[in-house]
Amino acid sequence: GQMADGMVRDQADWFERATPFLFLLLWSGGYVAGRLGIVDSTPITLVAIRFVLAAGLFVLIAWLMGARWPRPAAMGWIALVGLLNQGLYFTFAYLAFDEGIGAGTAALISALQPVITACVALPLLGERVRVHQWLGLVLGFAGVTLVIWNKLELGLGTAAGVAWAAASVLSITVGTLVQKRFCPVFDLWTGGAVQYLAAAAFTIAAVLVSETPSVNPTFSFVLVMAYLVIGNSVIAVSLMNLMIRKGEAARVTSLLYLVPGGAAALAWLILGETFSPLALAGLAVAAFGVWLVMGQRGRRAPARRGQATKS
């Protein structure tokens, strides 16, 4: 009995240690999967299929687990967050891919989201931004600008693609703020179902309005879709929530700085995307900028919470 208990404990410890790396791999791989997916599908159609399947899966899981649905007042806010953080974010990101923006570059632009939230938006919520955070914001933008300028010089991607990628970051920044302010806590499965249903409704409408849907159902496309729905939407999101629930929000944030590097490495291995020495320097500068903004905040947060509970 003791031996069996020990084995279960060892497996649990191993899983806990592996969780951050598994999350990083799945999350970074999403950018590569997106680039592969648009080979066989028009971009918004790809996103719409993903959200319809994810919504169905989340509704099924919520029903099987008997999870409680949000109150009607909260449901509207959760749906709005789904529209911004899923619907608009991924639609714009995939339009950027369609304009030739690489997986590594898209991941790097996305990495600015927590930086923008911290420096530009947190003052709106009454949080003070420190000098090193402003410095990080400047470095983050400088690094990303260097990478984008270098890629455009080499003819990899278009200005329109950069604009779509920037719009995707803006939408998830606004979505994050709405969530922090109006619906910070909700059930993972029912809340996820509401978010994906809102995102699916938006993307289906967007397909009908803006593109002639075309899907070539190759084996590669089916694999990409399975990865995006199960690997990204269900497993990666669940791992992220698991880490946050264990009080490791700072660790999740710090993992997100590694995503551009992870996505660039996977894109190099799988898609043959390369970064010139200048672009690699930009990647490093941007990563340092994001760390300056987020790493310090993550370490200071517990002390601030402790003070709040005493007062």
Instruction: Answer whether residue 183 is part of any domain.
Output: yes
Instruction: Answer whether residue 308 is part of any domain.
Output: no
Closest to 222 (Cα-Cα) out of 230, 211, 212 = 230
Scanning the structure block, which residue is given the tokens 């959200």?
51
Instruction: Answer whether residue 269 is part of any domain.
Output: yes
pLDDT digits 0-9 by tens, 29-83? 999 999 999 999 999 999 999 999 999 999 999 999 999 999 998 999 999 999 9
Instruction: Answer whether residue 52 is part of any domain.
Output: yes
Mean pLDDT of 230-251: 79
Instruction: Answer whether residue 1 is part of any domain.
Output: no
Instruction: Answer whether residue 90 is part of any domain.
Output: yes
Rounded to an integer, what distance in angstroms lies between the CA atom of residue 218 and that of residue 44? 18
Q: What is the pTM of this model?
A: 0.83
Q: Of the ranges 185-189, 211-215, 229-233, 243-247, which one carries the lowest mean pLDDT score?
A: 243-247
Domain with 252 in it: 27-297
| DSSP state letter for 311 | -
Report the domain count for the chain: 1
The phi, psi pair for 128, rounded to 5°, reads -85, 140
Instruction: Answer whether residue 63 is part of any domain.
Output: yes
Instruction: Answer whether residue 102 is part of any domain.
Output: yes
Structure tokens at 208: 């009908």
pLDDT digits 0-9 by tens, 132-182? 888 888 888 888 888 888 888 888 889 999 999 999 999 988 888 888 888
| Beta-bridge partners for 246 | none
Query: What is the pLDDT, as a whole number, of residue 293?
Result: 77
pLDDT digits 0-9 by tens, 183-208? 888 888 999 999 999 999 999 999 99
